[in-house]
Structure 1
């Protein structure tokens, strides 16, 4: 694995991940944001102890930020028999790794560690999901998800049928495609704005919180 500082420099994001700008675009003061965003950001900070840099970066376009978070919540904050919240985060990790998105791999790797209650699995999925110790069902999900992320035209009806064969419902199958699509947007915006991962993400789910 690449060390955090080396990874940030390799991505053209400057020095230590905890310093420097969080975006190439303006970051508005908190008190200038709509109330809905201010409340959400306060809740996130209270729950996690810090504000993820992507939240600050997206705040430049408040209406788009609110829309992004609404779609994120609809797709990511639910458990179904075929696709748990941990599975959903691992889809983000695998496809973000395929898109070379440092921010999303680090941030969603941290969330995946917490939701899967496994300090190692997200790293294994990010490096090579094919060799990661996941179920046949999740491996099938990751295979189709990564294909959609890197070569959308190669996805066929047979790919979707394989997911149904592993017990995913129609809603689950749609969610796989929607998650990949939403985070393809997120990956590209993170590259576009050069958003660095927060230093706090690197230890989340690895060591006990104090």
Structure 2
């Protein structure tokens, strides 16, 4: 068994640990909208790249490989991550790809939440668990999809 390094780091601050996972579950594990788990992971990867957070890039690329597109979704996520002005053009592109206003909110919430997470990981120079480098590429890595959900707090 392995525990994600980010979880270990946060665990020494129990109040923040519980708050992080309450937000994580509300934002990333909800069952509404049109975003599948692979979409959410891809949003996290692209915004983590923009935030220069190698920890989250490695971790969420691994999760994306497990759950595995949409350029309009990623363009919007990057615009949120960079704090660009959001225009009607963003929403028009969304509609062409079948997204709606609720999906836009979900993408913005995931992007904003991981901007905070990326900055904490960057601050402490967090290194990903070695398991993430193989996850989704090799059958030798234990199936940890059941551990994907945030801890119940």
| TM-score normalised by structure 1 residue count | 0.62
CA distance in 2, matches of 1:67, 1:164: 33
Larger Rg: 1
CA distance in 1, matches of 2:67, 2:59: 13
Count the aligned residue pairs.
141
Matching residue of 1:6:
none
Q: Secondary structure at the match of 1:153?
A: coil
CA distance in 2, matches of 1:94, 1:201: 17
| Alignment partner of 1:168 out of 95, 99, 110 | 99
Structure 1 runs of 4+ with >6 Å offset: none
CA distance in 1, matches of 2:35, 2:111: 14
| Structure 1 position 157, deviation (Å) | 3.5
| Structure 1 position 198, deviation (Å) | 0.8
| Alignment partner of 1:195 out of 116, 126, 130 | 126
Bigger RCO of structures 1 and 2 (CA < 8 A, at least 6 apart): 2
Structure 2 unaligned spans of 5+: 143-153
CA distance in 1, matches of 2:109, 2:128: 23
| Structure 1 position 156, deviation (Å) | 2.0
> Would the aligned equivalents of 1:164 and 1:173 in 2 still touch at CA under 8 Å?
no
> Would the aligned equivalents of 2:4 and 2:129 in 1 still touch at CA under 8 Å?
yes
| Structure 1 position 81, deviation (Å) | 6.4
| TM-score normalised by structure 2 residue count | 0.84
Matching residue of 2:58:
106
| Structure 1 position 160, deviation (Å) | 2.9
- How much is the aligned-residue C-alpha RMSD, in angstroms? 1.7
